[in-house]
Amino acid sequence: FCPDCGALQPPAQLSDLFRVMDCDRSFRVDAQQLELRFFNLQRAVHPDRFGQRPLMEQYYSEQHFSLINKAYQTLLNPLSRGLHLLELSGVELPQEADSDADSAFLAEITEINEKLAEPKNEAVFEEIETLIKVKQEELTREVTAAFER
């Protein structure tokens, strides 16, 4: 916002989504704090608040709103947050999928697929859900430790 007249200004061309959300650049993110910032920022620039303002401010509002949503979704998800941190650090990421996937990982996926092929019952789905959650938490801890080194 303009400090003199209070008019909404165009969003800065920030590639650092941590700055958009006013967060420390870290893999470790407080999800509750991020959500609070998200709602506060959204409320400040929501397009409904600018319906009676000049067209340029309405346009800026939509741009801000879109950028805030993108930042929130990116930083909330551990994978996209990690990839964003790598990008900010100048690490070039390959565009194609890794065809040399870890054999242990492929074995886990095969095991899950076999369980899914079995007759369907709630216990199997719960077991698979637990397996996936445990693996996700384990991988998130490993990635967090790697970023903190």
Question: Residues 92-128: pLDDT tens digits?
Answer: 766 655 555 567 777 777 777 777 777 677 777 888 8
Q: What is the pLDDT of residue 104?
A: 72
Opening angle at CA 36, ends 33 and 37, nearest 5: 90
Could you report how far apart the first and last alpha carbons of the chain are, in Å?
Answer: 38
Residues (pLDDT < 50) of the chain are none
| Tokens 């445990």 sit on residue | 134
pLDDT on residue 65: 93
The angle, 0 to 180 degrees and rounded to 10, between the axes of the packed helices 55-76 and 78-88 is: 110
Domain definitions of the chain by residue range: 17-88, 103-148
Q: Can you give the pLDDT at residue 9?
A: 80
Task: Please state, for a pLDDT cut of 90, what percent of the chain lies above it.
Answer: 30
Q: Mean pLDDT over all residues of the chain? A: 83
Global pTM reads 0.68
Give the model's pLDDT for residue 25: 92
List, in order, residues 6 or more apart from 24 with CB less than 8 Å away.
Answer: 18
Confidence (pLDDT) at 97: 52
Residue 6's region, left for phi above 0, alpha for psi from -120 to 50, else beta, is: left
Q: Which CATH number fits domain 17-88: 1.10.287.110, 2.30.40.10, 3.40.109.10, 3.40.50.300?
A: 1.10.287.110
